[in-house]
């Protein structure tokens, strides 16, 4: 008896997105799979990068972000970056390298990918401890000091500003800028807060790919619980149930990606292994947002525990 056999008739029936093929997902997590075994749908320049621990993970990701900023500066180009709040440890190292190299970020334009919101898209006050805007200032913009990204080149996902992202990014690209996507992968395989169940609203994958954003998007319960664990010290009642978020119409435009999976805890516990393997193995499918990530050029950094084997173990 297993999960697939027992879902029908249980409280979980209808809980997972209708388009999820559970048997295929289970095969993605087969312990025999090897991360280095490239798949036909991977971009030739997509590479998973193994990190032995969280310290390596934060440093490698931070270095990669800083290197892309430096490379654009060296080329005399503008750079547009879609940025997450999670992972976060990378920003400390991005600041470290940029300061060490004395790289002024006046050529960088940032677009925060999402923000907590209510059903109408109203967001938290910018200085609220839980606001992504506040988190970015504390982790990246303020520590950079005089090298920082100019305030008028920082974009946050408010209900007024998020709908302008597509036009702003298109203008930057027309001016020769590259678009970089920095991201983590959610428990439900979301990128930003673009949840898998949103696929039900679109007639085709082509229509799905055109969507640039959502205001007041309704989050999946497992996304709320993931954030309760990772950002709210288990206090589910503090987690907003909605968010403003970019969509595939923006993140699939990326010229390069810098991704991160660090969802491993102590005593062998983790929350991101299945999401990691679904991303690598499932194949592009609008019901699994992160399944499109390997079709883009760039790097996906991950902590080694996520390789598995993903098998039962009591802790």
| CATH code of domain 38-307 | 3.40.50.1360
Instruction: Please tell me the predicted confidence (pLDDT) of residue 12.
Output: 76
pTM: 0.96
Q: At what angle do helices 54-75 and 89-101 cross, to 10 degrees?
A: 40
Instruction: Please tell me the predicted confidence (pLDDT) of residue 191.
Output: 98
Q: Cβ distance 275 to 290 under 8 Å?
A: yes
Instruction: Place 234 in a pLDDT band, splitting at 50, 70 and 90.
Output: very high
Residue 1 clears pLDDT 60, i.e. is over it: no
CB contact set of 222 (below 8 Å; sequence gap of 6+): 187, 188
Number of C-beta neighbours around residue 155 at 10 A: 20
Write out pLDDT tens, residues 36-73: 999 999 999 999 999 999 999 999 999 999 999 999 99
Instruction: Please tell me the predicted confidence (pLDDT) of residue 8.
Output: 72
- Give the dihedral of Cα atoms 305, 311, 314, 315; nearest 10 deg: 10
């Amino acid at each position: 008896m297993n999960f697939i056999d027992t879902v029908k008739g249980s409280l979980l029936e209808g809980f997972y997105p209708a388009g999820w093929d559970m048997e295929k997902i289970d095969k993605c997590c087969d312990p025999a799979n090897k991360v280095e075994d490239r798949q036909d749908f991977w971009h030739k320049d997509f590479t998973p990068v193994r990190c032995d621990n969280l310290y390596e993970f934060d440093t490698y990701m931070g270095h990669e972000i800083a290197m892309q900023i430096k490379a654009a500066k060296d080329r005399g180009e503008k750079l547009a970056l879609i940025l997450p709040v999670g992972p976060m440890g990378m920003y400390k190292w991005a600041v470290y390298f940029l300061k060490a190299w004395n790289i002024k970020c006046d050529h960088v334009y940032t677009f925060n990918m999402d923000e907590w919101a209510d059903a109408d898209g109203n967001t938290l006050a910018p200085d609220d401890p839980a606001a992504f805007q506040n988190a970015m200032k504390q982790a990246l913009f303020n520590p950079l000091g005089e090298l920082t990204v100019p305030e008028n080149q920082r974009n946050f996902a408010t209900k007024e500003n998020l709908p302008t992202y597509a036009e702003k990014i298109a203008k930057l690209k027309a001016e020769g800028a590259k678009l970089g996507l920095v991201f983590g992968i959610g428990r439900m395989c979301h990128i930003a807060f673009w949840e898998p169940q949103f696929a039900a609203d679109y007639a085709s994958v082509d229509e799905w790919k055109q969507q640039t954003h959502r205001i007041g998007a309704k989050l999946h319960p497992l996304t709320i619980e993931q954030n309760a664990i990772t950002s709210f010290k288990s206090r589910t009642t503090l987690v907003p149930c909605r968010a403003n978020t970019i969509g595939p119409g923006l993140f699939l435009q990326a010229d390069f990606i810098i991704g991160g999976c660090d969802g491993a805890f102590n005593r062998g516990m983790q929350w991101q292994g299945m999401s990691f393997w679904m991303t690598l193995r499932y194949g592009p499918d609008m019901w699994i947002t992160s399944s499109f990530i390997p079709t883009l050029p760039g790097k996906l950094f991950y902590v080694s525990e996520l390789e598995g084997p993903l098998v039962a173990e009591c802790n």
